[in-house]
Structure formats: structure tokens, C-alpha cells
Amino acid sequence: MTLREQMDTIYHEFTLAEIPWNIEKPPDSIKNLVEAGWVLPCDAIDLGCGAGNCVIWLVSKGFRITGLDLSPRAIELATALAAQKRVACWFVARDMTGIVEGFDGSFDFAYDWEVLHHVFPEDREKYVMNVHRMLRSGGKYFSLCFSEEEPPSFGGDGKYRKTRIGTTLYYSSERELQELFEPLFQVEQLRTVEVAGKKGSHIAVEAKMSKKDV
């Protein structure tokens, strides 16, 4: 089964309340970036937006925002949620490891929240090149994914760990992410943090970056 099929199945078979990562309020890290003025209202894209919660919150902060996700079912859910809340934003089903056309130089800010651990090392360069192409000169990029410093749990303790809902995740180190991002982005801050989740906290690596003109 492909990741897209897996994700579609999850978004079909579970309610939003049951989906382990689906949280209505925005992640503290993104809230802090906006409230500290690291990024001001602009044209933005949420990569791997899931059911669109953070997109909807950013609209309330003045952003013009597009949500993108691999899973067409996630996009249906996000579109329905935005319509229900009467929020103006856009959603598209695309795979960031594939060919993503029509968005070159369209955004000032891109972020992915808990997405990159679904993208294995062999596909990450394509993913990051797509982010780079979507951003305007000087555009900002924030990324957070699971860290290899996460203690052993139900999924084991290796770089690849299988979750209770059947997905396999890749746990990153700071060094891997530095090497991944630095050819195309100026890495302003890279650090390992504890992130509150729906069922307890976990350890993640986060990076604040700006686009290099290369």
C-alpha cells in the first residue's frame, strides 16, 4: 500500500477525534512564530495540512493560505471544515515528493508540521527542492519532524519505527536535517524540542529557515 493509500484509509476510517495527530488548536511553535513576528501575514502554504486546522487558524491571523496534502480525503475534510467555519482558503491534493506544478514563486512562507517523518531519506531532496521552488526570494520555511532522540516506545528504537495505525516513520537527527536543508536554505535555528501531542509529548527536531537564492 502506498503512503497516499494509507493516509486516505486513515482519514476515511477514523473520525478526526480518533486521528492521533489531529488537534484543533494550532501548534505552539507556529503560534509563537506568528506572535513573535518572525513571519508576518503573507501568502503561505501548509505542506501536509491534514484536516486543515492550522490553515484555518492562520486565516484568522490575516494570512492568505493554501493547504496541500498527499491525501485527497484529507483535502476533502479540510475543505469541508473551512466551509463550515466560513473561512476563505484553498486546498490542493499534491505529493511533495513528486512533480508539483503551478506554485513556483507563489509563497512568502511555507511550513510542514509533523510531515517530514513520513518522507524517507531517498525522497527528501525532491521534497525540499519543491519547497524552495514554491517560495519567493527571501521566503521563510519552518519544518518540524520526529527526532531520533525520541526514547524507544511501541514502535521500537531505530531510525524507522512502525506506528499503531500502521504507518512507518523515519526519525531524524539535527545533522541530517542541517545537511538536507543547507544547500537551499539559510538555517537560522535548528534545535531538538519537546512537543505536546494528543496523547503525551514527543521529541522533535525543528528548523527555522529562509530561502537562499541559488
Ligand X SMILES: C[S@@+](CC[C@H](N)C(=O)[O-])C[C@H]1O[C@@H](n2cnc3c(N)ncnc32)[C@H](O)[C@@H]1O
Tell me which residues touch ligand X (CB under 6 A).
3, 7, 21-22, 48-50, 53, 69-71, 74, 95-97, 113-115, 118-119
Residue 105: left (phi > 0), alpha (psi -120 to 50), or beta? Answer: left
Cβ-based nearer residue to ligand X, 74 or 184? 74
Cβ-based nearer residue to ligand X, 159 or 186? 159
b/e for 47-74, b at 16 or more Cβ within 10 A? bbbbbbbbbbbbbebebebbbbbbbbbb
Q: Return d(Cα 86, Cα 56) in angstroms, integer.
A: 10
Minimum CB distance to ligand X, residue 58 (Å): 12
Minimum CB distance to ligand X, residue 51 (Å): 6
Minimum CB distance to ligand X, residue 106 (Å): 16
DSSP labels for 60-95?
HTT-EEEEEES-HHHHHHHHHHHHHTT---EEEE--
Minimum CB distance to ligand X, residue 111 (Å): 9
Our CA angle for 9, 11, 12, nearest 5°, is 60
Cβ-based nearer residue to ligand X, 154 or 213? 154
The alpha carbon of 8 is separated from its chain's Cα centroid by a whole number of angstroms, namely 17
Minimum CB distance to ligand X, residue 208 (Å): 17
Minimum CB distance to ligand X, residue 185 (Å): 18
Cβ-based nearer residue to ligand X, 69 or 150? 69
Cβ-based nearer residue to ligand X, 96 or 184? 96
Cβ-based nearer residue to ligand X, 50 or 139? 50
Answer for the pair 54, 115: CB distance below 8 angstroms, yes or no: no
DSSP alpha helices (H): ranges in the chain? Answer: 3-13, 28-35, 53-60, 72-84, 121-134, 174-181
Our CA angle for 182, 94, 142, nearest 5°, is 30
